[in-house]
Amino acid sequence: MAARKSTAKSNVSAEELLSYYRDMLLIRRFEEKAGQLYGMGLIGGFCHLYIGQEAVVVGLEATAKEGDKRITSYRDHGHMLACGMDPKGVMAELTGREGGYSKGKGGSMHMFSKEKHFYGGHGIVGAQVPLGAGLAFSDKYKGNDNVTFTYFGDGAANQGQVYETYNMAMLWDLPVIFVIENNKYAMGTSVQRATKSPSLWERGAAYGIKGEEVDGMDVLAVKAAGEKAVAHCRAGKGPYILEVMTYRYRGHSMSDPAKYRTRDEVQKMRSERDAIENVRELLLQGKHASEDKLKEIDRDIKAIVNEAAEFSKESPEPALEELWTDIYA
Amino acid sequence: MATEVLMPALSPTMEEGTLAKWLVKEGDTVASGDIIAEIETDKATMEFEAVDEGVIGKILIEAGTDGVKVNTPIAILVAEGEEVPEEGAKTETAPAPAALNGEEGKTAAPASAAPAPEAPKPDTSPDWPEGTEMKSQTVREALRDAMAEEMRSTDEVFVMGEEVAEYQGAYKITQGLLDEFGARRVIDTPITEHGFAGIGVGAAFGGLRPIVEFMTFNFAMQAIDHIINSAAKTLYMSGGQMGCPIVFRGPNGAAARVGAQHSQCYAAWYSQIPGLKVVMPYSAADAKGLLKTAIRDPNPVIFLENEILYGRSFEVPDLEDFTVPFGKAKIWREGKDVTIVSFGIGMTYALEAAEKLAEDGIEAEVIDLRTIRPMDTDAILASVMKTNRLVTVEEGFPQGSVGNYITSVVMEQAFDYLDAPVINLAGKDVPMPYAANLEKLALVTTDEVVEAVRKVTYR
Ligand SMILES: Cc1ncc(C[n+]2csc(CCOP(=O)(O)OP(=O)(O)O)c2C)c(N)n1
Ligand SMILES: [Mg+2]
């Protein structure tokens, strides 16, 4: 199959553009704060930050409607914020407190919100892929036109269960969008060291699944590709694959010294391709927003994040009886 | 306001580290994301990024300092043009980290080591009212009827698995279901256990009630990650928000002459997992009543069937809606001399042995657990307190067996009632051989049960 890369961009209003800026910035500031709380020992264990990848989830959420579902890996904070979950509840889960989405029993990697149709937060690389197809199966079975966004990494894309799922998703025309967040690394292994496939989305062709590569540092390009995928799924045409090219600025998790790439590589991405900076420039150049307006947004977001951090420190640890609850329904 | 920059924790276990190198000096302006220092942990050298923007007002810890405790102030960040505050003056500091692993966080499991002063009173009510009309059915038919009845009552219930639809089931358990319910609800899958188990779990998250058939449980090993990590743990990890109502069912244990990879009992494996329920019926009535309960249960249920039992006939109550509750053992035979506890096909040997022993005047009480988790330990304890002797019988491997667990419960809660050591009969500690004579040796036998009972009764 010929290489295909979408260059389409969504036409959006200034208001929409401003909202993407806001949503991306919220994720960035939230994650920076999470990193800070980790450094202070308030967050423990594994903590995988989404800094750098914000445009992926914000662009795709812009195409979702009520009832659409989403599921992802452990690198899940951004997805939760983007689908409207409360930053306080997310941060308090990171600190393992009663006010967290899972009452402190799930942690960074395992959070859920039935209300927002967010189905986790999964710690086993690749496991969310058939789970996401199963969610899509439930919508098709019920006869509605909802779709499921199933996010996974470039590393996860090498798991066997992904291909078992592609096969069944296509066989049964499941309304699932497979979103490969290709951030170039799976922990310390670059994509090139894990596969000789020139592209990951093209593997869907073996199962008859359409797909495309998308510039994940451009929120408008992501949105445009998302719209196409969503329309395809809603029309009952089966699954769709988006390989979204993105980059994580931080280490794999908080304890990763990231020696497998150069500082220059990271710096280049940050200074030349940063998704938030790009939108900021678009807003200013097009005179869609003033410096002051953007400063105001920055301040609002800082306040939201600080409030979330305060809440996550003040919320008590779960009651000891919680050890024994929620094992069986 | 000046801000203290604190020595960060850079791994789940870091308590202190070496401040190897400063990449900024006093007076430098930093933005969030700039790398300001290198810190060595016991595992690696890590770059430390600034989180706030400002000017490095003062460096408090020199480069090259070892053993810097996490959360020690290492520098002071000030705003452009601001003075570094005097020693001891107020700066904005991060709150002390919450004490991790505090003593008060520890609670003991609610197991009591004290002997139960009184025999527990297990639920011994009959499974169906007296005088109920009965009909003879095979286990196979009973299982099919259970699924069909539940599918008739709820659209959310569907069956998926290899050969379940057009082929009518590899072991014909789903016979006729495709005709009645159609391809939307009786779904043939490709041979892809890991994948379809995950899709089933996802469908359960999405509000359906899947019945996932494994052609045999040996193949569920491909899918065990989804059974345990995805199905069993999600309710807990979501703080009670999201459970997984799903039944994983299929034949389990040894069939006949199919060799090591196709002959294995998973009762003990799955029974270890909090969040799963594990069912292993013996009779057709239990197969039917328990499968209906399993399909209605809001939790993931492992339903272990047995190929050899599929064709056996039992009396099944002819009731409109017959169910058997989980966690209620069934006493097949009352006796005062010894308690034999078993489940699934093990019941065949337990009952045959009891018959033989009765000829010699030894009265065995035979208990069928029916569900391994939750386990009706009350029924076991009450019986052992009466007979003072216990033999457990199962087909799985001996180490870490269900019998081992039962023994520990009896030791903890009825030690003073025991007049002999408990014997756990299990399959032999070997992969299943193919040769007919060796296979026979590998399995537990009626004669072994008889012999074990003689040992514990000293007769
Ligand atoms: C089955 C499994 N194997 C290994 C791991 C350990 N692990 C956690 S994340 C990860 C790398 C995954 O990389 P990728 O899929 O590219 O996602 P990213 O972290 O880049 O978002 C590994 C190997 C795991 N959690 N699960
Ligand atoms: Mg990756």
Domains of chain B, earliest start first: 3-84 (2.40.50.100), 134-317 (3.40.50.970), 330-457 (3.40.50.920)
Q: What is the spatial distance between Cα B368 and Cα B389, in angstroms, rounded to a whole number?
A: 16
Chain A residues touching residue B71 (CB < 8 angstroms): 40-41
Distance of CA B406 to the CA centre of its chain: 16
Alpha helices in chain A, H assignment, sequence order: 14-39, 54-61, 77-82, 87-94, 128-142, 160-171, 191-194, 219-234, 263-268, 275-285, 291-314
- Tell me, using a 6 A CB cutoff, whether residue A200 lines ligand 1: no
Structure-block tokens of residue B102: 């505090």
pLDDT at residue B14, as a whole number = 85
pLDDT at residue A4, as a whole number = 62
pLDDT in tens, A129-161: 999 999 999 999 999 999 999 999 999 999 999
pLDDT at position B320 over 80: yes
User: Residue A23 — pLDDT band, cuts 50, 70, 90?
Assistant: very high
Q: What is the spatial distance between Cα B369 and Cα B331, in angstroms, rounded to a whole number?
A: 9
Please name every residue paired with A150 in a beta bridge, in sequence order, or none if there are none.
A71, A178
Distance B162 CA to ligand 2 centre (A): 33
CA of B259 vs chain A CAs: smallest distance (Å)? 27
Mutate to test the pocket of ligand 1, among A161, A183, A187 (most ligand atoms within 8 A of CB): A187
- Tell me, using a 6 A CB cutoff, whether residue A33 lines ligand 1: no
- Mean pLDDT of the A259-281 span: 95
pLDDT at residue A60, as a whole number = 98
Nearest to B100 among A44, A164, A172 (CB): A44
Nearest to B202 among A102, A135, A317 (CB): A135
Please name every residue paired with A213 in a beta bridge, in sequence order, or none if there are none.
A5, A243
pLDDT at residue B93, as a whole number = 52
User: Residue B98 — pLDDT band, cuts 50, 70, 90?
Assistant: very low
Q: What is the spatial distance between Cα B9 and Cα B5, in angstroms, rounded to a whole number?
A: 12
When the pLDDT of each residue in chain A is averaged and rounded to a whole number, the result is 96
Nearest to B343 by CA among B402, B295, B398: B402
- Mean pLDDT of the B327-333 span: 98
Q: What is the spatial distance between Cα A294 and Cα B268, in angstroms, rounded to a whole number?
A: 60
Indicate if the alpha-carbon torsion angle B150, B154, B156, B159 is positive or negative: positive
User: Residue B49 — pLDDT band, cuts 50, 70, 90?
Assistant: confident
What is the number of H-type helices and E-type strands within chain A?
11, 8
pTM of the model: 0.89
Q: What is the spatial distance between Cα B33 and Cα B53, in angstroms, rounded to a whole number?
A: 9
Catalytic residue status for B226: no
Whether B389 contacts B427, CB under 8 Å = no
Amino acid at site B427: G
Burial of B416 (0-12, 13-18, 19+ CB in 10 A): exposed
Decide if B120 touches A, using CB distance below 8 A: no
pLDDT at residue A5, as a whole number = 65
Q: What is the spatial distance between Cα B180 and Cα A254, in angstroms, rounded to a whole number?
A: 55
Decide if B93 touches A, using CB distance below 8 A: no
Residues 6+ apart with CB under 8 A from A262: none
- Tell me, using a 6 A CB cutoff, whether residue A177 lines ligand 1: no
Structure-block tokens of residue A319: 């009651």
Decide if A67 touches B, using CB distance below 8 A: no
- Mean pLDDT of the A53-75 span: 98
pLDDT at residue B12, as a whole number = 79
Whether B282 contacts B370, CB under 8 Å = yes
The answer as to whether A225 is a domain residue is yes
Amino acid at site B80: E
Q: What is the spatial distance between Cα B440 and Cα B254, in angstroms, rounded to a whole number?
A: 11
- Mean pLDDT of the A294-320 span: 97
Q: What is the spatial distance between Cα A94 and Cα A81, in angstroms, rounded to a whole number?
A: 13
Q: Is A187 helix (H, G, I), strand (E, B) or coil?
A: coil
User: Residue B41 — pLDDT band, cuts 50, 70, 90?
Assistant: confident
Decide if A78 touches B, using CB distance below 8 A: no
Whether B391 contacts B456, CB under 8 Å = yes
Amino acid at site B209: R
Decide if A99 touches B, using CB distance below 8 A: no
Q: What is the spatial distance between Cα A187 and Cα A256, in angstroms, rounded to a whole number?
A: 8
**Higher-scoring residue by pLDDT: A205, B114:** A205
**Higher-scoring residue by pLDDT: A266, B41:** A266
pLDDT at position B97 over 60: no
pLDDT at residue A105, as a whole number = 97
The answer as to whether A147 is a domain residue is yes
Alpha helices in A98-256, H assignment, sequence order: 128-142, 160-171, 191-194, 219-234
The answer as to whether A8 is a domain residue is no
- Tell me, using a 6 A CB cutoff, whether residue A188 lines ligand 1: no
The answer as to whether A325 is a domain residue is no
Chain B residues touching residue A94 (CB < 8 angstroms): none
- State how beta strands B390-393 and B423-425 pair: parallel
Q: What is the spatial distance between Cα B440 and Cα B451, in angstroms, rounded to a whole number?
A: 17
Torsion angle defined by CA atoms of residues A270, A272, A273 and A275, in that order, rounded to the nearest 10 degrees: 70
pLDDT at residue B105, as a whole number = 36
Task: Please report the ipTM that was assigned to this predicted complex.
Answer: 0.91
Q: Is A51 helix (H, G, I), strand (E, B) or coil?
A: coil
Cis amide linkage into residue B374, ω under 30° from 0: yes
The answer as to whether A1 is a domain residue is no
- State how beta strands B157-161 and B209-213 pair: parallel
Chain B residues touching residue A104 (CB < 8 angstroms): 239
- Mean pLDDT of the A94-99 span: 97
pLDDT at position B244 over 50: yes
pLDDT in tens, A188-219: 999 999 999 989 999 999 999 999 999 999 99
Choose, from B49, B262, B439, B451, the residue flagged as catalytic: B262
CA of A11 vs chain B CAs: smallest distance (Å)? 32
User: Which H helix or E strand runs over A214?
Assistant: strand A210-215
- Tell me, using a 6 A CB cutoff, whether residue A183 lines ligand 1: yes
CB contact under 8 A, B199 and A133: yes
When the pLDDT of each residue in chain B is averaged and rounded to a whole number, the result is 92
What is the number of H-type helices and E-type strands within chain B?
13, 22
Number of domains, chain A: 1
Chain A residues touching residue B203 (CB < 8 angstroms): 134-135, 137-138, 141
Catalytic residue status for B149: no
pLDDT at position B333 over 70: yes
Nearest to A47 by CA among A88, A76, A82: A76
- Mean pLDDT of the B316-336 span: 97
Please name every residue paired with B305 in a beta bridge, in sequence order, or none if there are none.
B251
Q: What is the spatial distance between Cα B343 and Cα B267, in angstroms, rounded to a whole number?
A: 10
- Mean pLDDT of the A297-318 span: 97
Q: Is B274 helix (H, G, I), strand (E, B) or coil?
A: coil
Instruction: Please report, for the domain that includes residue A98, its CATH number.
Output: 3.40.50.970
Amino acid at site B50: A
pLDDT in tens, B219-243: 999 999 999 999 999 999 999 999 9
Nearest CA to ligand 1 atom 6: A125
Whether B327 contacts B371, CB under 8 Å = yes
The answer as to whether A321 is a domain residue is no
CB contact under 8 A, B225 and A127: yes
Cβ-based neighbour number of residue B137 at 10 Å: 22
pLDDT at residue B91, as a whole number = 56
pLDDT at residue B101, as a whole number = 36
pLDDT at residue A2, as a whole number = 43
Whose atoms come closest to the Cα of A185: which ligand? 2
pLDDT at position B214 over 90: yes
Residue A288 to residues A20, A321, B282: CA-CA distances in angstroms?
Answer: 13, 53, 72
Show the domain range for A91: 14-313
pLDDT at residue A232, as a whole number = 98
Q: Which of B196, B238, B273 to mutate to test the interface with A (most CBs of A within 10 A)?
A: B238
- State how beta strands B65-69 and B209-213 pair: unpaired
The answer as to whether A320 is a domain residue is no
pLDDT in tens, B275-294: 999 999 999 999 999 999 99
Whether B427 contacts B396, CB under 8 Å = yes
